[in-house]
Amino acid sequence: MFDFSLSWVPLVVVALANFFMSWLWYSPILFMKPWAKALGTYGKTEMTEAEKRAMPFLFASGLLSSFILSFGLQAVVRGLGAESFAQGALAGTVLWAVFALTHSLNTLWEGRKPIVLLINNGLFLLTYALFGGTVAVWR
């Protein structure tokens, strides 16, 4: 039976780390340029009023999804009894392959370019594995 009890400090730390890692991943420091080029938005300098109004919702939904991911990783990694970083990272990698990768592959039907899939899943794989391992060792 899964243990859905939470350790609040790891939940918050992993959620916030995921949120900021995502911001960094899609920033000019890392992959913003090839990602934006593939989406056809590179070089756009001004936001429309509708895009500006949507920003609080986008940030809130990103933060909420980070907390949901953190909770899910705790439930599954601990439910599997992973006790080492490697075991937690393996559990996170399996979760990525089964859920994130399969859903991302379906976005190709939307006409997205494969580079978008690679960039997005690079982040997903890194976060699922890294944070799965972190959750396993941080009780």
In this predicted structure, what is the pLDDT of residue 117? 93
Tokens standing for residue 84: 């080492």
Query: Is 58 contained in some domain?
Result: yes
Q: pTM, whole model, 2 decimals?
A: 0.88
Residue 32 reports pLDDT greater than 80:
yes
Contact in structure between 136 and 88 (CB atoms under 8 Å) = yes
Query: Is 2 contained in some domain?
Result: no
Tokens standing for residue 66: 């980070």
Q: Rg for the chain (alpha carbons), in Å?
A: 16
Range 6-12 average pLDDT: 91
Query: Is 129 contained in some domain?
Result: yes
Three-point CA angle 30, 90, 108, nearest 5°: 50
pLDDT band for 76, please (50, 70, 90 cuts): very high
Measuring CA to CA, which residue among 5, 2, 21 is closest to residue 127? Answer: 21
In this predicted structure, what is the pLDDT of residue 1? 64
Per-residue pLDDT of 83-116, as tens digits, reads 999 999 999 999 999 999 999 998 888 888 899 9
Query: Is 55 contained in some domain?
Result: yes
In this predicted structure, what is the pLDDT of residue 126? 97
Per the structure, the complete domain to which residue 28 belongs is given by 8-137
In this predicted structure, what is the pLDDT of residue 13? 96
Range 51-75 average pLDDT: 94
H/E run at residue 26:
none
Query: Is 72 contained in some domain?
Result: yes
Query: Is 3 contained in some domain?
Result: no
pLDDT band for 6, please (50, 70, 90 cuts): confident
Query: Is 1 contained in some domain?
Result: no
In this predicted structure, what is the pLDDT of residue 42? 79
Other CB atoms within 10 Å distance of the CB of residue 18: 23
Total domains present in the chain: 1
Query: Is 121 contained in some domain?
Result: yes
For 56, counting Cβ atoms within 10 Å of its Cβ (0-12 exposed, 13-18 middle, 19+ buried), the class is: exposed
In this predicted structure, what is the pLDDT of residue 60? 96
